[in-house]
Amino acid sequence: MSNLDTPSVSLRAPRPTDAPAVWRLVRDSDILDTNSLYYYNLWFRDFADTSVVAAAADGRIVGFVTAYLRPGRPDTLMAWQSAVAPGEHAPGLGLRMMHELADRADRCGATCIETTVNPGNRAVALMLRRFAHERGLDVHTEVLFSAADFPDDGADAHAPEVLYRMTPSEPSARTDSIPGTAAATLAVR
């Protein structure tokens, strides 16, 4: 695992009271699809165990990842949205949150973590590859949703979403051989 030193930022499960701050991070990102505030309230009520928020020493939410165990595929954690507040001086925070989610997913019995990335988001793609390398995972990519899968409302067209599926390097390695995991290893967005 990575030695990421962000002592002024702590990671924890989100609470519904964190929803307004996360909603603002999403809205201000200019990259992520903004959902309703109500949506984030429900998410943090129902999926707190599989999501994470990063809180600064003063209590401000400076990052988050929303994730869930896939219905019908409880071995797979889908990390759906993530952001770090612009201007925060917390190098490696996105990577640190991914490791936190991978550790949590491991405790739930998940052996794989998926996420999607816009093909133009090179920074996240590189971070995911670093994360997979640090955890001893293989990265498999494919287009999950093409641009045609999103309605064209005449404004900005939605870019395709590329699925990153990170799995243990060898199927026979599912014997706690990778530090920080049980039975197999994980990955995240």
Task: State the pLDDT at residue 29.
Answer: 85
pLDDT on residue 30: 79
Map out the domains of the chain as residue ranges: 9-173
Cα 94 from Cα 28, distance rounded (Å): 17
Total residue length of the chain: 189
Which parts of the chain fold into alpha helices (H)?
19-29, 37-46, 93-107, 122-135
Q: Residue 119: which pLDDT band, with cuts at 50, 70 and 90?
A: confident
3-state secondary structure of 50: helix
Q: Does domain 9-173 have CATH number 3.40.630.30?
A: yes
pLDDT of 180 higher than 60 = no
